[in-house]
Structure 1
């Protein structure tokens, strides 16, 4: 089979180091809790080889690149409908997977945030994610309150998942090599079914706080609730980057009560 050419517009950088590929697949630790695992952007199947060698969970592959799809169709003829030529961001999880799900992949860096928000949208099904991201994105996901890297994505992910930064990966093990260092993270669904607040308002509060992160929250949230009606609370004198998930839950309830 002829090799697949990496396409810049798809953000493709194919991993070439089998040891790292095996290490990524072995980082799936919660697979006893789901029956299916979906690999996103398998390319030429370096992760897939290790994923498909496992007895369980049942592996599915999705790639938007038609050339990769046809390559993988020849490489893994037994997959049948478990090999999907399509856009992960448009995938209807509930239509394809009836139960809980794991996600794995060497993700395109140009749509990293969109992929993670897709996971958040499907948090009732996704038990675990192990993935390769740009190092800065990976650090942001796992960052704790108090730093400039801590932001909207940090709060949203940590509200529903345990986030672990696993290891860094140098550019030289990719073809073509990216201009940045990469890193692998693991998300494991926590026990929070629903936050102890209005979740829609929670998202609005977090976004408003970080969109004006240099301001104190009393000023940053003025579009959601007037400063005159806002109750006095020490949280309002802080900036968004100082607040934990639980703090944002309390702040959301405070905003709700002040409206």
Structure 2
């Protein structure tokens, strides 16, 4: 089989270090007794080999037709579990048939979009173990009050317990990226429904961080603050100073002010 050439327009950086691939595969725990794993962007299957050794019920999705052809030759037993598709655009609910974990070496250029899709599928995706740009990985795992803390931090931490596992240097990829990578693990928590309007919660978080240097009193003006709410001390803070629960409280206060 001819090796697949990494394609710049797809953000492909193929992992070449088998030790790191094994470490990532072993980080998948099967949280909530889930056995199905969807690997995003398997490339030539360096991580896939170790996921198969862990005996997961494995599905592969890749947008690159050359990779798909290679994977079909390498893993002929997987058959239609090898899926040529854009993960961001395909509905995996019917394919996975219930709860599943996600693993992969995510392309840097779409990693944030992948996580927004995972948020949409949060009641099916029980665990995520992935490698992505270190800065993004740190942002997702960051606690409140940190300069890295942002929209994805709050939204993902609302539904997942998040651990930053380890850092990966550029030299173990072909081609090497210009920055370090980070591996993180997300495990679905017990929150099925936030104690507020979830769509409004998403809006409040995004609006709050859009102008993160401003106080929430100024940042949230476009949402329409009542005179009473404007006096609330929580609005003296900036978005990065609020944890998930405080954003839930703020969302409820905003909703209540609209209903008065």
TM-score, length basis structure 2:
0.97
Asked if 1 retains the 8 angstrom alpha-carbon contact of 2:225 and 2:254, the reply is: no
Report the Cα offset of residue 104 of structure 1: 0.3
Describe the SS at the equivalent of 1:131: strand
Describe the SS at the equivalent of 2:132: strand
Matching residue of 2:3: 3
Matching residue of 1:40: 40
Report the Cα offset of residue 228 of structure 1: 2.1
Runs of 5+ consecutive residues of structure 1 not aligned to the other structure: none
Runs of 5+ consecutive residues of structure 2 not aligned to the other structure: none
Describe the SS at the equivalent of 1:124: coil
Asked if 2 retains the 8 angstrom alpha-carbon contact of 1:33 and 1:127, the reply is: no
Asked if 1 retains the 8 angstrom alpha-carbon contact of 2:26 and 2:54, the reply is: no
- 1:31–1:196: structure 2 CA closer, same or farther, 3 Å change rule? closer
**Higher alpha-carbon deviation: 25-34 or 198-207:** 25-34
Report the Cα offset of residue 31 of structure 1: 4.8
Matching residue of 2:213: 214
Report the Cα offset of residue 35 of structure 1: 3.0
Report the Cα offset of residue 30 of structure 1: 2.8
The separation in 2 between residues aligned to 1:240 and 1:200, in whole angstroms, is 17
- 1:227–1:219: structure 2 CA closer, same or farther, 3 Å change rule? farther
Matching residue of 2:29: 29
Matching residue of 1:84: 83
The separation in 2 between residues aligned to 1:25 and 1:31, in whole angstroms, is 14
The separation in 2 between residues aligned to 1:93 and 1:75, in whole angstroms, is 23
Report the Cα offset of residue 54 of structure 1: 2.6
Instruction: Say how many residue pairs are matched.
Output: 258
The separation in 2 between residues aligned to 1:226 and 1:129, in whole angstroms, is 37
The separation in 2 between residues aligned to 1:135 and 1:213, in whole angstroms, is 21
Matching residue of 1:20: 20
Is 1:258 paired with 2:251?
no
Matching residue of 1:243: 242
Report the Cα offset of residue 220 of structure 1: 1.1
The separation in 1 between residues aligned to 2:32 and 2:239, in whole angstroms, is 37
Matching residue of 1:161: 160
Report the Cα offset of residue 233 of structure 1: 2.2
TM-score, length basis structure 1:
0.97
Deviation >6 Å, runs of 4+: none
**How big is the alpha-carbon RMSD for the aligned residues of Structure 1 and Structure 2?**
1.1
